[in-house]
């Protein structure tokens, strides 16, 4: 099966039961195939089923519904307006740039997906309307640190990646709209028998594929596949298909060898891994479980078939990528997708501070008292025009909107040098210091991120998070040894800092290094070139005015680190004999408290 | 608008997850235990369980026409209106179902605390208070899904109200206070972020929940879910008997609650356990005893035994350990160790 035929198949299955499937996460840049796919979905859905596009920064009021202010003023009684989700009842909502969804908006979406209805008291009106929708989340992320919020990802049956498709791909739907209609009619009568269900459960466990919700989605997709085949009984091939399309893309562990034939992909990932550190988080967490599980189940043909098929469908290199922690979470938990108070919501969040006049657009909150106060002086004048009595007359220009001040959040990015030269002396101390700082940040509710660099490249060990459990884990995994790719580390930190700024956070970069750069950006050795690149990269920090701090971890204060700090406009702190506690004190003193 | 208007997944149909069920039942038997916090993996039925709880709660008596569903027999906890009225004439009351109020993440602050009645303000220029979720949750349960993602200013608000049992509104020219005593129930996924210690402390019991690793359990979960979604009414009817039986036990447990004896020895063991774990303050001990008593009452025992204590020790204490935020070894393990040391294996 090729990626393009799978994509077309997914559209068909999704069209059969959008609400049951939850949705599709479509990872793709702006791409002709993506537009094709959306068109195809439109054609496959029944004409009456709505397909609505929703921007990622949609206001809650527009998403869920709220008070229609203009109509309310006109009618002099509250009039609710229908939100995008309720309007799309029975159809599909397409969320563009879903990787920028705030966790808040995602949670609202999830609640509606779970309940199949909008049920929310807002702004003086009680909204309750059916909203059985499927979601197409268009994920345009370029950087691996951006991804769709985990809770939402957990409710979408399909994960498609169009990055692998060629620009000239032509998607051919395997079914036409009439097929879909017939399948829709048949679907309620399709029964998922326990043999196939067990096979799916076993496969999900063997692959370490997400939560129970995902398995449930797989079962529904199997039912949809049977309905498309014109059957009310599930066949093995349906379960196989569901396993391949729903479970395989979420695999976090390579299945135990006895469970099926080792595929080529797995072989690849194995060989990649040998150079990497042991104890990948994903595998460590779930392997134990799956072993326990697979030991108890008696091998069943159905299970093996589904598993083998799913396994073959694991995208090449996925497992290898999963072991690189930064990428692993892409599928595993979705992690920190836009957690911070995003700037577009600043009008809503935080504590109130004053009012300004203006029509309520988006989510700005109407301040009733100030509005009435503004309208009061005009009542007499306006009274001449009015027909009926005893009513306030409020004109749009009277509207006052509350302003809010959200606390600026800080993000502390630790770039930890784990190269051979540093590791010898200071890695343990640096880790200790970072842990202490993490504890500090926990108390202040700041976010932290950790970048480790050694060998050929820098990697994000921990995307911005407030979860200490994860922070601690990622640090424990950082091993020492190898060269010092300083420029790559600085680039990585700067990129993360820029992203934080876009989310309205204040980033601070803390570099722990001895400054002995010897690996250039392209991964080649050479002290001279590496050093020049590092200096140039450092200048970016200066130019961007990002607050930075450089802790020299070499045994003696050294000129290289000092020069680099100067170039970055960072505070330079030589720490020849510091232990973890001292290190942490110094950093704390130098990061502006919030 | 009534919570039972839509079909919810029956409580008794939830597979395994005994600790969570026990904690929720405990809170239903004795609401003074404090709330329940359910932390765990995604898709483990956290919110399903909480929403199912509503069906298990026996109805309560409430003053007719009172917006806060005041209890007609307890004048201390009445709202001002009811208190004033009760001084003149006996209050009329009727049976209503216990509110289980969902606090969605998308909720606005004014809907939580209550606000100026927009309709009357705009159309008639009358200043009237429109109660919010905290009013509706009075004497019932307030449920927050993804509680660790709740905005900070809403958390502040909750912490205050949960402690005082009273909602004080001073905004938009309004000055209103009304009773708001509720059992706080929260759920979330620790990977998404931590909970503030102050809010953590407001929860009486905390439960950790994991995706089942037994294949049969997993199959059963999905089967029942599938069955439920196919025909909700039939599924609810099928499990209705068990839910009713459970409800009767909860009612019986509530009635007997105050007659349950707590032997001196059990008190001492509880104190010893808390000392060993170094929990802050007396709250831990009190919650531990109350939870054990609720369990004993639910199980129709006459007195609290050590076995009850053991069962509730982990949920009552694990979130109260003075912890090094980086210590990952897990508070559950520490409670277990202390249990072994205090009571033997």
How are beta strands A65-67 and A80-82 bridged, if at all?
Answer: antiparallel
From chain B, the residues in CB contact with A365 under 8 A are: 108, 110
Is residue A155 domain-shared with residue A9, that is, in the same domain?
yes
Q: Are residues A148 and A230 in the same domain?
A: no
Which pLDDT belongs to residue A158?
A: 92
Q: Are A171 and A42 in contact (CB under 8 A)?
A: no
Task: Tell me the two tokens of residue A356.
Answer: 């300004």
Is the Cβ pair A76, B214 closer than 8 Å? no
Q: Are A482 and A469 in contact (CB under 8 A)?
A: no
Fold agreement between B3-59+97-217 and B258-343: no
Residue finishing a domain among A383, A405, A427: A405
Asked, for residue A179, whether it belongs to a domain, the answer is: no
Do both A426 and A381 map to the same domain? no
Q: What is the pLDDT at residue A334?
A: 30
A102, A66 in Cβ contact below 8 A?
A: no
Q: How confident is the model at residue A291 (pLDDT cuts 50, 70, 90)?
A: very low
Pick left, alpha or beta for residue A417 (phi over 0 → left; psi -120 to 50 → alpha; otherwise beta): beta
Let me know whether A379 and A246 are in one domain. no
CATH number at residue A135: 3.40.50.300
Tokens of A125: 């009106």
Residues on chain B touching A107 (C-beta within 8 angstroms): 105-106, 145-146, 149
Within an 8 Å CB–CB cutoff, is residue A473 touching chain B? yes
- Alpha-carbon gap, residue A50 to A18, rounded angstroms: 11
Are A468 and B325 within 8 A, CB to CB? yes
- Kindly report, residue by residue over B319-344, the tens digit of the pLDDT: 887 655 445 556 777 788 888 887 77
Identify how many contiguous H helices and E strands chain A contains and give both numbers.
25, 18
Contact B123 A76 (CB under 8 A): yes
CB-nearest to B191 from A64, A367, A467 is A467
Chains A and B: how many Cβ contacts under 8 Å? 187
Domain assignment present for residue A470? The answer is yes
Question: What is the count of structural domains for chain A?
Answer: 4
**Rounded Cα distance, B117 and B174, in Å:** 10
- Higher per-residue pLDDT: B195 or A442: B195
SS3 A426: helix
Nearest to A368 among B44, B124, B172 (CB): B172
B positions 47-86 inside 8 Å of A (CB): 47
Whether A439 and A300 map to the same domain: the answer is no
CB contact under 8 A, A212 and B218: yes
Q: Using CB atoms within 10 A of its CB, is residue A310 exposed (0-12), middle (13-18) or buried (19+)?
A: buried
C-alpha–C-alpha distance, residues A483 and A522, integer Å: 13
Chain B nearest C-alpha distance from A177 (Å): 24
By Cβ distance, the residue of B105, B193, B211 closest to A104 is B105
Tell me the CA end-to-end span of chain A in Å, nearest whole number: 54
Q: For helices B264-277 and B283-298, what crossing angle results, to 10°?
A: 130
Q: Are residues A500 and A577 in the same domain?
A: yes
Take residue B3 and report the two structure tokens written for it: 């919570």
The pLDDT score that the predictor gives to residue A272 is 37
Rounded mean pLDDT, A491-517: 84
Residues of B involved in catalysis:
283
Instruction: Give B344: exposed, middle or buried? Use CB within 10 Å, 0-12, 13-18, 19+.
Output: exposed
Answer with the residue of higher pLDDT: B191 or A56: A56
Q: Taking CA A260 as the corner, what is the angle to CA A255 and CA A264, rounded to the nearest 5 degrees?
A: 80
Selected for mutation to probe chain B from A330, A351, A368 (highest B CB count within 10 Å) is: A368
A351, A488: one domain: no
Give A525-570 as a DSSP string: B-HHHHHHHHHHHHHHHHHHT-EEEEEE-SSS--HHHHHHHHHHT-
Q: Which residues of B touch A123 (CB under 8 A)?
A: 108, 110-111, 118
Q: Where are the domains of chain B?
A: 3-59+97-217, 258-343
Residues A276-291, mean pLDDT to the nearest whole number: 37
- Same domain? For A306 and A366 the reply is no
What per-residue confidence (pLDDT) applies to A136?
94
Domain match, A12 and A98 both = yes
Closest Cα in chain A to B120: A77
Buried b (16+ CB within 10 A) or exposed e, A258-293: ebbeebebbeebeeebeeeeeebbbbeebbebbeeb
> Residue A244 has what pLDDT?
87
Name the residue with tokens 């096979």.
Answer: A199
Q: How far is A69 from chain B (nearest CA, A)?
A: 11
The architecture in CATH of the region B258-343 reads: Orthogonal Bundle (1.10)
Helices marked H in B172-282? 197-202, 215-230, 232-256, 264-277
| Average of per-residue pLDDT across A332-354 | 40
A293 to B214: CB separation less than 8 angstroms, yes or no: yes
- Tell whether A221 lies on the interface with B, counting CB pairs under 8 A: no
Test A439 with B325 for CB contact under 8 angstroms. yes
For the segment B132-188, what is each residue's pLDDT rounded down to a tens digit?
A: 889 988 888 999 888 887 777 788 888 888 888 889 888 767 788 888 989 999 988
Does A374 lie at the interface with B, CB-CB under 8 angstroms? no
Residue A99 near residue A152, CB atoms below 8 Å: no
Gyration radius of chain B's alpha carbons: 21
Contact B220/A at CB under 8 A: no
Q: Does B146 touch chain A (CB under 8 A)?
A: yes
ipTM beyond cut 0.90: no
Does pLDDT of B197 surpass 80?
no
Whether residues A246 and A375 share a domain: the answer is no
- The whole-angstrom distance between A299's CA and the closest CA on chain B is 12
CB of A326 within 8 A of CB of A459? yes
Same domain, A278 and A312: yes
What was the pLDDT predicted at A193?
86
Q: What angle do CA B29, B30, B36 make, to 5 degrees?
A: 95
CA of B124 to nearest chain A CA: how many angstroms apart? 5
Give residue A105's domain range: 3-170
What pLDDT is attached to residue A404? Answer: 63
Residue A22 lies in a domain: yes
| Cβ-defined contact of A117 to B6 (cutoff 8 Å) | yes
Question: Any chain B CB within 8 A of the CB of A386?
Answer: no
The strand pairing partners of A401, in sequence order, are A356, A366
Q: Is the pLDDT of residue A271 over 50?
A: no
Q: Which run of H or of E encompasses A95?
A: strand A92-95
Which among A336, A364, A384 is the end of a domain? Answer: A336
A466 neighbourhood in chain B, CB within 8 Å: 193-194
Q: What is the distance between the alpha carbons of residues A499 and A503, in angstroms, rounded to a whole number?
A: 6
What are the tens digits of pLDDT across the range B211-238? Answer: 888 888 888 888 898 888 888 888 998 9
CATH number belonging to domain B3-59+97-217: 3.40.50.300
Q: What's the average model confidence in pLDDT over A32-37?
A: 88
- Dihedral angle computed from the Cα positions of residues B266, B270, B273 and B277, in that order, rounded to the nearest 10 degrees: 180
Domain of residue A515, CATH code: 3.40.50.410
d(CA A437, CA B81): 52
Percentage of residues in chain B having pLDDT higher than 70: 90
- Cβ-based contacts of B172 with chain A (< 8 Å): 367-369
Tokens found for residue A484? 């010092």
Q: Does A293 touch chain B (CB under 8 A)?
A: yes
Residue B295 pLDDT greater than 90, yes or no: yes
Contacts of B324 in chain A (CB under 8 A): 439
Q: Is residue A175 part of a domain?
A: no
* Rounded distance between C-alpha atoms, residue B95 and residue A341, angstroms: 43
Strands laid side by side in the A23-27 sheet: A51-54, A92-95, A134-139, A23-27, A158-161
Share of chain A above pLDDT 70, in %: 66
Verify whether the Cβ–Cβ distance B219 to A201 is below 8 Å: yes
Residue B292: the pLDDT is 93
Considering the domain architecture, whether residues A391 and A310 belong to the same structural domain is answered as no
Mean pLDDT within A549-561: 80
| Closest B-chain CA to A102 | B149
Inter-chain residue contact B146 with A470, CB threshold 8 Å: no
pLDDT score at B1? 34
Chain A residues closer than 8 Å to B122 by CB? 72-73, 76, 368, 392, 394
Q: Which residues of A13-31 are buried (b: 16+ CB within 10 A; e: fewer)?
A: bbbbbbbbbbbbbbbbeeb
Q: Is pLDDT above 50 for A584?
A: yes
Report how far residue A215's alpha carbon sits from residue A204's, in angstroms, rounded to the nearest whole number: 6
Do A392 and B124 count as a contact with CB atoms less than 8 A apart?
yes
Helix (H) and strand (E) counts for chain B?
A: 14, 11
CB A540 within 8 A of CB A494: yes
Report percent pLDDT > 90 for chain A. 10
Residue A72 lies in a domain: yes
For the stretch A441-466, pLDDT in tens is 666 667 788 888 888 888 888 888 76
Please, what is the average pLDDT of chain A? 73
Task: Tell whether B117 is within 8 A of chain A (Cβ).
Answer: yes
Contacts of B106 in chain A (CB under 8 A): 60, 63-64, 104, 107-108, 111, 120, 122
B222: contact with A, CB 8 A cutoff: yes
Residue A181 lies in a domain: no
Span A55-80, average pLDDT: 73
CA distance, residue B224 to nearest chain A CA (Å): 10
Tell whether A184 is covered by a domain.
no
User: Residue A225 above 90 pLDDT?
Assistant: yes
Is B215–A466 a contact, with Cβ atoms under 8 angstroms apart? no
Contact flag A212-B111 (C-beta cutoff 8 Å):
no
Residue A183 lies in a domain: no
CA torsion, ordered A8, A34, A131, A221, to nearest 10 deg: 30
């Amino acid at each position: 099966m090729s990626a393009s035929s799978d994509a077309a198949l997914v559209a068909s299955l999704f069209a059969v039961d959008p609400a049951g499937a939850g949705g599709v996460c479509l990872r793709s840049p702006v791409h002709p195939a993506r537009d094709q796919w959306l068109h195809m979905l439109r054609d496959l859905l029944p004409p009456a089923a709505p397909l609505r596009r929703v921007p990622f920064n949609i206001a809650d009021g527009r998403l869920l519904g709220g008070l229609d202010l203009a109509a309310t003023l006109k009618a002099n009684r509250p009039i609710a307006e229908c939100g995008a989700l309720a309007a799309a009842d029975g159809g599909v909502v397409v969320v563009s740039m879903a990787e920028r969804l705030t966790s808040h908006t995602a949670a609202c979406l999830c609640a509606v997906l779970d309940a199949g209805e909008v049920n929310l008291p807002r702004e003086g009106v009680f909204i309750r309307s059916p909203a059985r929708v499927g979601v197409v989340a268009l994920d345009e992320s370029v950087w691996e640190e951006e991804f769709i919020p985990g809770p939402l990802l957990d409710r979408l049956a399909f994960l498609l990646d169009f990055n692998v498709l060629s620009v000239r791909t032509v998607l051919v739907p395997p079914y036409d709209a009439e097929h879909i209609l017939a399948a829709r009619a048949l679907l309620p009568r399709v029964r998922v028998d326990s043999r196939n269900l067990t096979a799916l459960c076993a496969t999900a466990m063997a692959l370490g594929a997400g939560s129970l919700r995902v398995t449930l989605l797989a079962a529904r997709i199997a039912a949809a596949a049977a309905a498309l085949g014109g059957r009310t009984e599930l066949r093995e091939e349906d379960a196989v298909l569901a396993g391949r399309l729903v479970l395989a893309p979420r695999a976090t562990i390579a299945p135990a060898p006895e469970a099926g034939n080792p595929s080529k992909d797995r072989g690849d990932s194995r060989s990649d891994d040998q150079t990497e550190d042991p104890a990948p988080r994903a595998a460590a967490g779930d392997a134990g479980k799956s072993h326990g599980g697979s030991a108890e189940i008696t091998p069943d043909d159905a299970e093996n078939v589904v598993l083998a098929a799913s396994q073959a469908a694991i995208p090449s290199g996925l497992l290898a990528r999963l072991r690189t922690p930064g990428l692993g979470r892409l599928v595993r938990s979705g992690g920190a997708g836009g957690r911070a108070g995003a700037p577009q919501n600043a009008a809503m969040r935080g504590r109130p501070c004053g009012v300004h006049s203006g029509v309520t657009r988006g989510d700005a909150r109407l301040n009733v008292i100030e509005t009435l106060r503004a309208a009061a002086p005009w009542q007499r004048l306006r009274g001449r025009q009015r027909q009926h009595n005893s009513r306030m007359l409020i004109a749009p220009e009277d509207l006052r909107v509350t302003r809010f001040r959200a606390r600026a959040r800080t993000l502390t990015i630790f770039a930890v040098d784990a190269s051979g030269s540093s590791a010898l002396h200071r890695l343990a101390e640096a880790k200790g210091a970072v842990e202490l700082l993490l504890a500090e940040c926990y108390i202040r509710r700041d976010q932290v991120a950790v970048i480790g660099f050694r060998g050929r490249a820098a990697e994000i060990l921990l995307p911005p998070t407030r979860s200490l459990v994860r922070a601690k884990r990622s640090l424990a995994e950082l091993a020492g040894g190898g060269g010092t790719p300083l420029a790559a580390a600085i680039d990585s930190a700067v990129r993360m800092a820029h992203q934080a700024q876009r989310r309205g956070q204040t980033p601070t970069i803390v570099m722990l290094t001895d400054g002995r750069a010897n690996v250039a950006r392209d991964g080649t050795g050479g002290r001279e070139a590496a050093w020049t690149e590092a200096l140039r990269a450092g200048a970016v920090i200066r130019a961007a005015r990002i607050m930075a701090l450089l802790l020299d971890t070499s045994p003696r204060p050294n000129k290289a680190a000092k020069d680099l700090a100067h170039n970055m406009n960072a505070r330079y702190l030589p720490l020849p004999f510091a232990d973890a506690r001292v290190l942490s004190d110094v950093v704390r003193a130098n990061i502006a408290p919030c | 608008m009534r919570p039972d208007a839509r079909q919810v997944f029956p409580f008794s149909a939830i597979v395994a997850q005994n600790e969570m069920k026990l904690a929720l039942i405990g809170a239903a038997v004795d609401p003074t235990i404090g709330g329940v916090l359910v932390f765990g993996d995604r898709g483990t039925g956290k919110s399903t369980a909480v929403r199912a709880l509503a069906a298990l709660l026996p109805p309560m008596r409430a003053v007719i026409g009172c917006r806060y569903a005041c209890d007609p027999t307890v004048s201390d906890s009445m709202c001002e209106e009811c208190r004033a009225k009760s001084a003149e004439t006996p209050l009329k009351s009727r049976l209503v179902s216990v509110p289980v109020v969902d606090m969605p993440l998308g909720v606005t602050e004014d809907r939580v605390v209550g606000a100026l009645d927009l309709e009357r303000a705009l159309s008639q220029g009358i200043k009237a208070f429109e109660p919010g979720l905290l009013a509706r949750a009075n004497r019932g349960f307030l449920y927050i899904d993804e509680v660790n993602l709740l905005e900070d200013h809403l958390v502040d608000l909750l912490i205050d109200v949960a402690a005082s049992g009273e909602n004080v509104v001073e905004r938009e020219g309004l000055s209103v206070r009304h009773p708001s005593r509720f059992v706080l129930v929260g759920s979330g996924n620790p990977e998404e972020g931590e909970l503030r210690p102050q809010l953590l402390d407001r929860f009486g019991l905390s439960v950790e929940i994991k995706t089942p690793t037994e294949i049969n359990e997993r199959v059963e979960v999905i089967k029942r879910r599938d069955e439920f979604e196919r025909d909700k009414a039939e599924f609810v009817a099928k499990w209705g008997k068990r839910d009713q039986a459970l409800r009767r036990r909860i009612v019986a447990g509530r009635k007997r609650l105050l007659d349950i004896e707590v032997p001196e020895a059990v008190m001492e063991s509880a104190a010893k356990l808390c000392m060993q774990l170094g929990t802050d303050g007396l709250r831990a001990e009190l919650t531990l005893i109350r939870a054990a008593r609720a369990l004993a009452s639910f199980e129709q025992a006459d007195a609290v035994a050590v076995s009850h204590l053991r069962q509730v020790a982990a949920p009552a204490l694990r979130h109260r350990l003075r912890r090094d935020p980086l210590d990952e070894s897990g508070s559950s393990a520490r409670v277990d160790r202390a249990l072994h040391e205090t009571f033997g294996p």
